[in-house]
Amino acid sequence: MRLFRYRGRFFQGVALFLRLLLSYKLLGFRNFLASPQTRKARLSALHARNATMLREHMIAMRGVLIKIGQFMSSRVDLLPEEYTDELSKLQDQVPPTPFPEIALRVTEELGPLEEVFSSFDEIPVASASLGQVHRACLRDGDCIVVKVQYPGIEEVIAADIRTLRFVIRILRLLYPRVNLDVIYSEFSRIVGEELDYLQEGKNAETFARNFAGNPKIKIPIVYWPFTTSKVLTLEYLEGIKITDFDAIDEQGIDRKELARVLAEAYAQMFFLDGLFHGDPHPGNIFVCPGPEIILVDFGMVDRISSPQRESLRRAFGAVVDRDSLGLVRALVDMGFIPLTRDIQPLVQFVDRILQKYRDISPSEFKAMDIEEIGNDIMEALRISPSIQIPNDFILFGRVIGMLNGLGSRLDPDTNIIEIAAPYAKRFIRSEEFTASGVLGQAARSARATLKLPQLLSDFLFTTSRGETRVEITSQQIVEELKNIGRIGKGFIFAVLTAALGLISVFLLINHFETESYWTAGGAVLLFLWVLRIVRRTPFHRE
């Protein structure tokens, strides 16, 4: 019976998807002879109706469908505005589970309520897609909040993930150029991690350590004796929901300062900590006079890996320095843009976009003509049709979009890029002179060296077909000859460095420690010399 129930859930989801799909196909027939204005109006109206129907279905079905809706509400790159606006309401419209089911779950995990708690509120203070939160007091008088996972949620998630996989397969057939597989895999990973409340507790403690020196950010304490994989007990912190602007204004809290504190907190997460809170919707951020910000719900967090940090370092450095070519190269390395032979049109486009949007405030951006923004997006797709969001950056992009929307509501004139710039500069400088930064530079130099034979082969092939066009001046010849000399010298030193490194390892393995250290020292000196040569040699493509 239970299996049939979850299969029925799958078929209901598929039926809704097919109904939505059919409505757009029918509209296409209706619009065959309609004017462009009529087509646009009809499409917008259908978007609104379908978005409402989808949201109501998600609320009725509960479970991970609500999480899917919340996740998609920030994907302005994929969904029309009517959908993102409607699905964003899911942040506040999750119906709670009846208290007897919650009480049974807590009893199974911690023991009878009356033995563990002196009081336990039956009405939840918040309800989400996977669980809900209740206020309570322990026997020693500590005021706490208890986050309880819904009973049977694992089976619900399995059915909903199957539905999502089926829908994405159909969409992949209809829209092969849109890479939806990364959304499925990233969403599946995130939901799996959110089910483990023990990991969420550890995440909360990590964030508390990261912000220990910042009195503006508060993280609730975890009560480990009363925490399991399905029940999480935290310190209760009093605060105002960050979008309750009337209450914020009554407390005399400066909204502009609040937006700055929030932006700085996330800049620290991105650029300094390498670990960020992945779900900054209004229900997870509270405010105290000061202003101080309380962050809750650490189930959806993500780490920025070393390769990501290196790519971001170069990308943000390029934005700060208005280096269009550097930004394009960083985007290629991150997987946003495929590598092409001629990147100059894309560099010119990025240069124009940097000049246009870099110093714009959210209010100015919002006041821009949507058609103008759409034209910029279409031009980017025309220049590089295969632009996509890599799997590693889906959650990162979602957070940026949510923060931008929240920041614009707090203070429309706040420039998030300007606030984040000092953190980005610290991040850029710190990476450049750390061991990992030096090793990264060495790895990039090695990769560039390994690519030389293939680049030479490509050049000879192109030349043999008569497709090479050369435009040089005498000054360019002199400079390039100097560069070739430097590259040749650097290549020789690089080979010697690698050889000395291998010899050093061999000596150390065979217990010739003193000789090993001297050899390693020589390798380091040669490596630094190679690095100096590489930095003095301009690598460019025109």
Known catalytic residues? 279
The two beta strands, 275-277 and 301-303, are antiparallel
Report the alpha-carbon distance of residue 134 to residue 129 in Å, rounded.
15
Indicate left, alpha or beta for 152 from its phi (over 0: left) and psi (-120 to 50: alpha): left
* Cis geometry, peptide bond prior to residue 291 (ω within 30 degrees of 0): yes
* Residue 405 near residue 412 (C-beta atoms within 8 A): no
DSSP string across 408-432:
HHH-TT--HHHHHHHHHHHHHHHHH
* Residue 200 near residue 232 (C-beta atoms within 8 A): yes
The CA–CA distances, whole Å, from 425 to 214, 400, 417, 428 equal 20, 18, 12, 5
The CA–CA distances, whole Å, from 316 to 181, 354, 404, 500 equal 27, 12, 17, 36
Report the alpha-carbon distance of residue 226 to residue 236 in Å, rounded.
14
* Residue 336 near residue 375 (C-beta atoms within 8 A): no
Q: Per DSSP, which regions of 224-325 are E strands? A: 231-235, 240-241, 275-277, 285-288, 292-295, 301-303
* Residue 403 near residue 262 (C-beta atoms within 8 A): yes
Which residue stretches of 322-473 are H helix? Answer: 324-334, 344-357, 362-367, 370-383, 394-410, 416-432, 435-464
Dig out the tokens for 1 from the structure.
């019976």
Dig out the tokens for 274 from the structure.
């390498």
* Residue 283 near residue 241 (C-beta atoms within 8 A): yes
